Amino acid sequence: MARWRPYVLGLLGLAAITFPFLWLTLAPDFARNTMRVSWTPRHGLQFFSDLSPVFLGALLIWLGSWSNKRWHWQARLAGLVPAQRRAESIRGLKFALMPLVLSGAFFLSASSLGIFTNVAIYMILALGLNITVGMTGLLVLGYAGFYMFGAYVFGLGQEHLPFFPWWLAMPFAFVLGGGAGYLLGLPCLRLRGDYLAIVTLGFAEAFRELVRNLPITGADQGILLAPHATFRPQLFLGKGQMAFVITALLVFLAVFLIERLHRSPVGRAWIAIRENEIAAASVGVPVVQMKLLAFSLSAAIAALAGVIAGAKDGFVSPALGEFPQSITILAMVILGGLGNSYGALLGAALLYAVPQYLALLPSTIQQNPGLQAAIPPFLREALSHLSDYHLLLFGAVMVIMMLYRPQGLLGSARRKEEMLHR
């Protein structure tokens, strides 16, 4: 009974919190000039019926976990291939996937190209944030500020220079973004944990408010980029295809360079600082220089992603640096696995692409007679409303991850032990 007590108490607390919103409605009583509370069980039942695919998926996951504990099929599957061969296969898979991903530019629809290009942009952002949060252990909550910084370097440059296309803006944004990260890192060297997070969040919010109130930056309206400065059709590729190919190539390049850096003495120094900063300094690790390098490189990568986003959309605005952007990128890194580059890619793909395709799922089913015939009516109705609850699902997934797999989807068991201080 003691084992199930936290779950029972949690469910009771959740039921108490959501009871007024799910089972009660307010209606105006004009005769008495007041509000009348009425019991509406249909509304609550409709809410849970809309989540029936989620409950079905949770049941399948539970059955898989239970069967793994009983028959240990995961260990048997892992034992079929030695660990060294698995690592070599993953490294070889990167190069095998490159032509497959790039060929998708010719087969994907325009809407899918837009979604996958945005996924690739968030992958670049997650890779950059993983340097500070995952590899170095520095909690940054204002990462979207560097993303917006790179976009406005591009926007202001093309507005005031006669020739400043996206490919010329990328090296400028990379260098200036790295400089901004270095300057932010200087006053943050003695800060850790929550204090560091507050300072970086303050930087992002201050920069966003500055951009919103300066006439030179277009205030809230942002900057409309000139067509010649953005992605254009070239080499038999349309504008959307060009954006997808360039962004995908940058993702592969970023993964290659960051993985090489992670396995270098610099990466080992970052990991040593993450594990124990005092011990790292005592054995000769230049803590100050390594922290500044992590800040600079992470900010430079975010600025590069800002240029890509501006070149794809054709405009830049303060919305790029909003706080939810920073939280979303941080959640991508945590979900995939702190310190794991491939985990950052997986987290970015899941947290961006899944809500997008949930929103497109009802129209896809409606346009496909085969799917309409295969899916029961009640499930079709539930899937049509599932995207409305994506924030609820996102929160539930993060809570479950923190309880059962705090190291992330691709995080190692050793990382889990470190996080639990065992």
Sign of CA dihedral 240, 241, 242, 243: positive
Q: Does 33 share its domain with 172?
A: no
Work out the pLDDT band at 147, boundaries 50, 70, 90. Answer: very high
Instruction: Let me know if residue 369 belongs to a domain.
Output: yes
Instruction: Let me know if residue 226 belongs to a domain.
Output: yes
pLDDT above 60: residue 82: no
Instruction: Please tell me the distance from the alpha carbon of residue 166 to that of residue 309, in angstroms, as a whole number.
Output: 10
Q: What is the pLDDT of residues 343-395, one digit of tens each?
A: 889 899 988 988 888 887 777 777 777 777 777 776 777 777 777 777 878 88
Instruction: Let me know if residue 327 belongs to a domain.
Output: yes
Adjacent-strand bridge partners of 120: none
Q: Does 129 share its domain with 246?
A: yes
Q: In sequence order, which ranges of 214-337 are alpha helices (DSSP H)?
A: 239-262, 265-275, 277-282, 287-313, 323-336
Work out the pLDDT band at 299, boundaries 50, 70, 90. Answer: very high
Q: Does 23 share its domain with 120?
A: no
- pLDDT at residue 28, as a whole number: 79
3-state SS assignment for residue 419: helix
Whole-structure pTM value:
0.83
Q: Does 222 share its domain with 307?
A: yes
Pairing of strands 34-39, 24-29: antiparallel
Into how many domains does the chain fold? 2
pLDDT above 60: residue 91: no
Instruction: Let me know if residue 348 belongs to a domain.
Output: yes
Q: What is the pLDDT of residues 385-415, one digit of tens each?
A: 777 777 878 888 888 877 777 778 887 656 6
Residue length of the chain: 422
**Residue whose C-alpha is closest to residue 359's, from 393, 320, 331:** 393
Adjacent-strand bridge partners of 28: 35
Instruction: Let me know if residue 95 belongs to a domain.
Output: no
Q: Does 140 share its domain with 270?
A: yes
Provide the domain limits for residue 40: 5-50
Sign of CA dihedral 165, 170, 171, 177: positive
Instruction: Please tell me the distance from the alpha carbon of residue 307 to that of residue 303, in angstroms, as a whole number.
Output: 7
The span from the first CA to the last CA of the chain, in angstroms, equals: 26
- pLDDT at residue 376, as a whole number: 74
Mean of pLDDT values over 80-98 = 55
- The CATH number assigned to the domain holding 262 equals 1.10.3470
Classify each residue of 259-294 as buried b or exposed e, where b means 16 or more C-beta atoms within 10 Å of its C-beta: bebbeeebbebbbbbbeebeebeeeebebeebbbbb
